[in-house]
């Protein structure tokens, strides 16, 4: 059986590795545009998804940096932790560099006889059992996957890496500033990735962003700050996930605000579900067909929408707190977050999302 994946991003490469393990022939269509990864971009991967990667896809232990603590602040109370997630010397989640993961996944694929990278594709000429589209700009399919629920945050996400004096760098920091959340995400003893979701319709330059880093720097003795990269922030969810045997996937079906680092984790949970549905067909000796697309949408769409809405609610909650200039919300969240039962639930929810 042959499957086609349109798009060659991280989600597509991860899914392809899952499918070739089932001895399915996989063609990946690579768009003509260059897909160069910014080396300052990083991903947060939850503990459960890290285990899934290592056990079912490819061993990524050597390129992971484990985070054992998360400390959350607001600008009004920058010296007092609003929430704290401490996993007692065990990883809460891990950080990985995008380009390193891409390279690892592609190397494994190219060694497989079940994999083929295509530069030209006419989906009408090929007899694919299943077509998975993660490219929102693919000409022949764009019209089928254009109806979305979208939100424009009128913000830019800025990313960079800072180089600093060596420390025991296993704590992530998030500060909900008046202009948006800023996250410090360790990637080595002397490097930390930064993601700042800055609320403004105008782009900031390197000088302005460097000054903001110095202002919100939690602990680092900074030696160098790389150039900044940026992209506009929007969230979206697709109204219909499939057309016949063509299934939308990855960022095409859901885009999420980066404040919780859950975008790639959502896609990994989608990959797990799709893998299970394909296994069910194979075990019954059935062909892959459009019923997989239908069942995938039925079992994932509502959960994805609720999860995305939950992250958006957190973002708006802190925006509201800043706009009314009150610390009452801070105190309430601090009280709730320090409850051991609630704290455990929040950690589990961030780790696994909704179980399908």
Q: Which of 352, 350, 330, 126 is nearest to 246 (CA)?
A: 126
Paired strand residues for 4 = 27, 131
**Dihedrals φ, ψ of 100, to 5°?**
-70, -40
Record the tokens describing residue 258, joined without a space: 């980066």
Q: Compute mean pLDDT per 10 residues along the chain, 356 residues long, and list them.
A: 91 96 92 65 90 93 92 74 68 91 94 89 74 86 87 92 95 90 94 93 91 93 94 92 94 88 91 96 90 95 90 79 59 54 51 53
CB 181, CB 209: distance < 8 Å: no
The whole-number pLDDT of residue 356 equals 42
The whole-number pLDDT of residue 341 equals 43
Burial class (CB in 10 A: 0-12, 13-18, 19+), 325: exposed
The whole-number pLDDT of residue 269 equals 94
H or E stretch covering 131: strand 130-133
Longest CA–CA span in the chain (Å) reads 62
Cβ-based neighbours of 72, under 8 Å, separated by 6 or more? 81, 82, 83, 84, 173, 174, 175, 176
The whole-number pLDDT of residue 183 equals 93
Residue 325 zone, left/alpha/beta (φ > 0; ψ -120 to 50; rest)? left
The whole-number pLDDT of residue 262 equals 86
The whole-number pLDDT of residue 342 equals 46
Kindly report whether the global pTM for this prediction surpasses the value 0.85. Answer: yes
The whole-number pLDDT of residue 188 equals 95
- DSSP annotation of 62 reads G
The whole-number pLDDT of residue 140 equals 75
Domains and CATH numbers, the chain: 2-352 (3.50.50.60)
Q: What DSSP string describes 270-325?
A: HHHHHHHHHHHHHHTTPPP-HHHHHHHHHHHHHHHHHHHHHHHHHHHHHHHHHHHT
| Cα separations in angstroms, 278 against 22, 129, 210, 345 | 9, 11, 48, 31
The whole-number pLDDT of residue 125 equals 60
What is the C-alpha to C-alpha distance for residues 269 and 275, in angstroms, rounded to an integer?
10
Chain Cα centroid distance, residue 104: 18
Chain Cα centroid distance, residue 206: 25
């Amino acid at each position: 059986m042959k499957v086609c994946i349109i798009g060659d991003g991280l989600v597509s490469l991860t899914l392809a590795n899952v499918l070739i393990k089932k001895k399915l022939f996989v063609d990946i269509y690579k768009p003509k545009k260059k897909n160069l990864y910014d080396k300052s971009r990083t991903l947060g991967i939850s503990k459960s998804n890290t285990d899934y990667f290592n056990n079912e896809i490819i061993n990524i232990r050597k390129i992971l940096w484990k985070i054992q603590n998360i400390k959350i602040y607001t600008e009004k109370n920058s010296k007092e932790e609003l929430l704290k997630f401490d996993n007692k010397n065990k990883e809460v989640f891990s950080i990985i560099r995008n380009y390193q993961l891409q390279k690892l996944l592609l190397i494994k694929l190219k060694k497989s006889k079940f994999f083929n990278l295509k530069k030209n594709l006419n989906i009408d000429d090929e007899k694919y059992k299943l077509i998975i589209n993660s490219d929102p700009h693919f000409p022949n399919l764009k019209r089928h996957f254009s109806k979305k629920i979208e939100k424009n945050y009128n913000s830019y996400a800025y990313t960079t890496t800072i180089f600093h004096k060596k420390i025991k760098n296993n704590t992530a920091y998030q500060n909900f500033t008046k202009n948006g959340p800023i996250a410090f995400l360790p990637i080595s003893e002397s490097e930390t990735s930064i993601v700042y979701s800055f609320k403004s319709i105008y782009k900031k330059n390197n000088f302005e962003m460097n000054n903001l880093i110095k202002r919100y720097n939690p602990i680092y003795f900074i030696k160098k700050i790389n150039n900044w990269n940026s992209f506009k922030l929007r969230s979206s969810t697709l109204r219909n996930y499939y057309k016949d045997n063509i299934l939308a996937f990855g960022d095409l079906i859901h885009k999420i605000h980066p404040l919780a680092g859950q975008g790639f984790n959502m896609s990994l949970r989608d990959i797990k579900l799709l893998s299970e549905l394909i296994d069910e067909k194979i075990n019954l000796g059935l062909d892959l067909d459009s019923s997989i697309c239908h069942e995938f949408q039925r079992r994932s769409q509502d959960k994805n929408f609720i999860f995305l809405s939950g992250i958006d609610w957190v973002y708006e909650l802190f925006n509201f707190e800043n706009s009314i200039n009150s610390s009452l919300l801070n105190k309430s969240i601090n009280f709730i977050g320090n409850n051991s039962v609630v704290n455990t639930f929040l950690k589990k929810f961030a780790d696994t999302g909704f179980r399908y």
